[in-house]
Amino acid sequence: MEEREKLIERIVKERGNSAVPKLVDLLFTGDSRTAELASEALERLDSCGEIIKKIEEEIESGRHNVGIFYGVDLLGDLQCSHSVEMLYKVLGIVNDEREAIIVYGALLKFGIKEAENYLLYEFEEDPYMKDYLIDIGIALKTSDNPKVFKSIVEKSRDVPDLVEVLQAMCYRNPSFFQMLPEELKEKVNSSQLKGRDTSFEDSYPLKDRSYT
């Protein structure tokens, strides 16, 4: 077990939910590595209420801290109830496309079609989004839409890092593996698709990708 995993296990086991307020604060005050560590611990705790409360405070204060977007990502991962309204509120304060991608990615985790349509349009049609294709691919990885999967397959010919997104999508939906062209099947490890619980992607190559 890696040191990082040991530390998260210790926080969760020894402090439990009493650690949530401090961990949420670290999303907003720590460096990117600390924020990612806090995020992983918060995923294992009852943290939805504190995350929503902190984001509300930041918005009301007029601060535009990157921690808002770590929190947004967690709200989607945890499927926090009553958070969709908050996600739309965050959309109203985004400063750039990358922040919008994060919020729409979180909305997509709730199955909101509008979010998928927005991300797919940006991925396929917007020539100004070429530098954000990896970010959009990550945001789209929770989609179960074959059209989305095929679009990412096509783009992966020019953007090889998207293969990791395809791998994540195949973990969630093993039937997608058969839609891959032969040259991509060799890159996506099919042996990992057998016997795996795909209800939630708890460990795939892009899980630790930072948004900052």
Are 146 and 169 in contact by the 8 Å Cβ rule? The answer is no
User: Does residue 212 sit in the same domain as residue 115?
Assistant: yes
Q: What is the mean pLDDT of each run of 10 residues along the chain (212 residues)?
A: 74 88 93 91 94 96 94 95 94 95 97 97 92 96 97 95 94 94 83 40 34 36
| pLDDT of 9 | 82
In total, how many domains does the chain have?
2
Q: Which residue has the tokens 């890696």?
A: 2
Token pair, residue 169, equals 């999508």
Is 48 within a domain? yes
Q: DSSP letter at 14?
A: I
User: Does residue 58 sit in the same domain as residue 142?
Assistant: no
| pLDDT of 209 | 37
User: Does residue 30 sit in the same domain as residue 116?
Assistant: no
User: Does residue 135 sit in the same domain as residue 189?
Assistant: yes
Exposed/middle/buried for residue 156 (C-beta within 10 Å: 0-12, 13-18, 19+): buried
CA gap 60, 79 in Å, rounded: 23
| pLDDT of 79 | 93
Residue 38 is part of which domain span? 1-67
- Could you give the dihedral angle defined by the CA atoms of residues 10, 12, 14 and 15, in that order, rounded to the nearest 10 degrees? 130
| pLDDT of 187 | 85
Is 73 within a domain? no
Are 149 and 169 in contact by the 8 Å Cβ rule? The answer is yes
Considering 34, 67, 100, which residue would you say is the last residue of a domain?
A: 67
Considering 42, 67, 92, which residue would you say is the last residue of a domain?
A: 67
CA gap 52, 55 in Å, rounded: 5
| pLDDT of 104 | 98
| pLDDT of 81 | 87
| pLDDT of 201 | 38
User: Does residue 186 sit in the same domain as residue 116?
Assistant: yes
User: Does residue 123 sit in the same domain as residue 61?
Assistant: no
User: Does residue 119 sit in the same domain as residue 35?
Assistant: no
| pLDDT of 195 | 40
Are 129 and 100 in contact by the 8 Å Cβ rule? The answer is no
Is 99 within a domain? no
